[in-house]
Amino acid sequence: MDFLNNILFFLVAVAILVSFHEFGHFIVARWMGVRVLKFSVGFGKTVWRWQKTPSGTEYALGMIPLGGYVRMLDEREGDVSPDQRGQAFNHKSLLKRSLIVLAGPAANLLLAVLIYWCIGLIGNEDLKPVVGSVVPGSPAEQAGFVPGDRIISIDGRATKGWSEHRLYLLGRVAGRNNISFQVARGGPDTDSLTVDLDQSQSARFDPAVLSRVIGITPNVPEPQATVAGLVAGGPADEAGLKVGDHILSIDGQRVDHWFDLVEQISQVHGNDLTVAIERKGITLEIPVASEVSIVDGNRVRRIGIYGPGSPDLSEHLVHVRYPVDVGLVRAVETTWLMSTLTVRVFWQMVTGSASREHLSGPISIARFAGQSANLGLVQFLAFLAVLSVSLGIINLLPIPVLDGGHLVYFAAEGILGRPLPDQVFHWGQQFGIAFIVLLMALALYNDFLSLLR
């Protein structure tokens, strides 16, 4: 069922994003007076088509739902009668052709703005921006954060929820900029704290930017590291752990709560580990042989125990939503931040300063689509927005066969005062196809690696 769920929502996401992208090309081409011969969502054999008149645009669905295209009247792709040359793409001005090509990526970015705007109007649940703990030696501790601090603003941006400004913070961290926090400490006055990331070794790309980079964690109840159940025949059961045992440490490393326990086990090197427990007032050390399982494509080390139930977070949550005008401004800003972040990460992958494992293929995207849909409408919309931004930015890359490659050709034509020779287009086409194939191969390789971990 998970597999079918992933495939279903993956196809829904692709259909929405591709349709919007191609509609951008389509509507601007029509606006510029170019005759559109075919509008297709999907490649390969046509499984559905509709055409109002013999001379009208053919609308079609292809068998392979991983893309789409808009075919326009163009003398480079076939004979054009003299009376229709004015409607041919290649007869339009350089500016009009550039606008038609640019319209596809622009449509994806516009879609992201609309989605983020809808999310802001609907609202979503977030943790209250209250500090629960401060990581020792972190930039936050050096700045003076203490447990109980309530974050009022970040660099002057009013803060309602814990993760509200994650994208902004990622950008600041990437640039190793100072970040100013305004915090309240129980009274009417507020304090200003400045986190200096310039010399920090923690300044790295990590979505959990507040906890793992800056060094503050939210104020939420942490379940105790107590064994609430055992997997029959699992490592812990075989080793002699019992329900009710309170775990004190893993291989001598202190365990404070259940999440800490999970983290400690995941960092163990090798299969064997020593679990220190408290049982009826007596401290025991029990050797346990851990095992590795694959969960949602990720390699997870386990010892076969269940923790206590999820804590009640109702008192620690806040519903974050925005009025129409503020929501629109935030949507534009979020799309811009996501775009710059996408460009930065892609450039870091090209230069080798970031892992190429960040590149995901259709298998991972399908899994994320299903997981986000299971979490609710807002999460699926957020996933769509991220994917729409990525599609828009990738299509703007200066690679032949992509929209950005066509814009490079047009820029060269504008500089030279004449179109480039057909041979240059031919070579560029071959290079572009080879590059895209290699990129897809790397993405699929990362997908299969994630399944094997």
360 inside domain: yes
357 is catalytic: no
Last residue of a domain, one of 320, 342, 362: 320
The pLDDT value recorded for residue 110 is: 96
Residues 286 and 198 both lie in one domain: no
Q: Same structural domain for residues 349 and 407?
A: yes
**C-alpha dist (Å) from residue 275 to 107, 202, 225, 303, 393:** 55, 30, 12, 10, 48
Q: Which of 22, 58, 75, 413 is catalytic?
A: 22
Q: Rounded to the nearest 5 degrees, what angle is found at the Cα of 170, between the Cα atoms of 168 and 176?
A: 105
DSSP run (H or E) holding 406: helix 403-416
* Inside any domain, residue 394: yes
Do residues 453 and 365 both lie within one domain?
A: yes
Residue 67 within a domain? no
Sequence-separated (6 or more) residues with CB below 8 Å from residue 319: 123, 124, 125, 126
The CA-CA-CA angle for residues 412, 96, 31, to 5°, reads: 160
Q: Are residues 119 and 131 in the same domain?
A: no
Residue 393 included in any domain: yes
Kindly state whether residues 214 and 294 are assigned to the same domain. Answer: no
Q: Give SS3 for 327.
A: helix
Residues 352 and 404 both lie in one domain: yes
Which amino acid does the sequence have at 182?
Q
Q: Are residues 119 and 142 in the same domain?
A: no
Residue 247 is part of which domain span? 229-311
* Residues 334, 435 share a domain: yes
Report pLDDT for 381. 94
Give the per-residue pLDDT at 368. Answer: 79
384 lies in some domain = yes
Q: How many residues belong to the chain?
A: 453
Q: Do 260 and 341 belong to one domain?
A: no
Phi, psi of 13, deg, nearest 5: -65, -45
Overall pTM > 0.95: no
Quick one: pLDDT at residue 14?
Answer: 87
Residue that finishes a domain, picked among 320, 350, 371:
320
What is the domain-level CATH number for residue 282? 2.30.42.10
What pLDDT does 357 receive? Answer: 61
The CA distance from 66 to 11, in Å, is: 8
Per-position pLDDT tens, the chain of length 453: 577 888 888 888 988 999 999 999 999 999 999 999 999 988 888 888 999 888 889 999 888 877 888 999 988 877 778 888 888 898 899 999 999 999 999 999 999 999 999 999 999 899 999 998 898 888 899 999 999 999 999 999 999 999 999 888 888 887 777 899 999 987 777 889 999 877 555 556 667 788 888 889 888 887 888 888 888 888 888 888 899 899 898 888 888 888 788 888 877 777 788 889 899 888 989 898 887 766 555 567 788 888 887 777 788 889 999 999 999 999 999 999 999 888 887 777 777 665 556 666 677 777 778 888 888 899 999 999 999 999 999 899 888 888 998 899 899 989 888 888 878 878 888 888 887 788 778 777 766 766 555
Of 434, 392, 408, nearest to 106 (Cα)?
392
Name the domain count of the chain: 3
Which distant-in-sequence residues (6+ apart) come within 8 Å of 194 by Cβ?
Answer: 143, 178, 179, 180, 181
Given a contact cutoff of 8 angstroms between Cβ atoms, the answer to whether 217 and 135 are in contact is: yes
Residue 423: predicted pLDDT: 82
Q: What's 212's DSSP letter?
A: I
User: Does residue 194 contact residue 178 with C-beta atoms inside 8 Å?
Assistant: yes
Strand blocks (E) in 73-189: 124-127, 131-134, 150-154, 157-158, 179-184
Closest to 240 in 3D by CA, of 286, 302, 289, 292: 286
Give the tokens for residue 300: 């997870």
Could you give the CA distance from residue 68 to residue 59 in angstroms, rounded to a whole number?
11
Domain boundary pick from 276, 292, 320: 320
Which residues fall within 8 angstroms of residue 263, CB to CB, at 6 or more apart? none
414 and 330 in a common domain: yes
Do 441 and 329 lie in one domain? The reply is yes
End-to-end CA distance of the chain: 22
In a domain, 81, yes or no: no
In a domain? residue 72: no
Q: Per the domain annotation, does 257 fall within a domain?
A: yes
Same domain, 449 and 332: yes
